[in-house]
Amino acid sequence: DTAVSQTPKYLVTQMGNDKSIKCEQNLGHDTMYWYKQDSKKFLKIMFSYNNKELIINETVPNRFSPKSPDKAHLNLHINSLELGDSAVYFCASSRAPQGLNSPLHFGNGTRLTVT
């Protein structure tokens, strides 16, 4: 029944490591996103894909690389993790690129802690 699922839910790793977060949606949506929520709960978009094509790429370090093998999946790979990468990362999907009739459906987040 889970609409947008992301794994893992918790990720604790050391500086310099490389890690990936996976996301899958079973809603049949065309558009998927990665958002970052910092310690002050501010939610900021990182990337958006529509039908496997990158359509939004905010100012994010090159160490972050999204990949969409198909429109139901959007993974996030992070190289050379830094302390400042610690945050909760949310995957989301919508029927079409964000607009009036395309609200976002979020996963439950991946809490990344870099030590």
Partner 1 sequence: TQLLEQSPQFLSIQEGENLTVYCNSSSVFSSLQWYRQEPGEGPVLLVTVVTGGEVKKLKRLTFQFGDARKDSSLHITAAQPGDTGLYLCAAGGGSGGSNYKLTFGKGTLLTVNP
**Contact string 12-31 vs partner 1 (x = CB under 8 A):** --------------------
- Rounded-to-integer distance, Cα 50 and Cα 108, Å: 21
Cβ–Cβ under 8 Å, residues 105 and 93? yes
Q: How far is the CB of 111 from partner 1 (least distance, A)?
A: 9
- Rounded-to-integer distance, Cα 114 and Cα 82, Å: 7
Give the residue with the Cβ less far from partner 1, 7 or 102.
Answer: 102
Compute how many other C-beta atoms are within 10 angstroms of the C-beta atom of residue 104. Answer: 17
SS3 category, 52:
coil
Q: Which of 17, 55, 79, 80 binds partner 1 (CB under 8 A)?
A: 55
Q: Which of 40, 62, 70, 83 binds partner 1 (CB under 8 A)?
A: 40
| Residues at the contact surface with partner 1, assessed by CB under 8 A | 4, 40-45, 48, 50, 55-56, 90, 92, 96-109
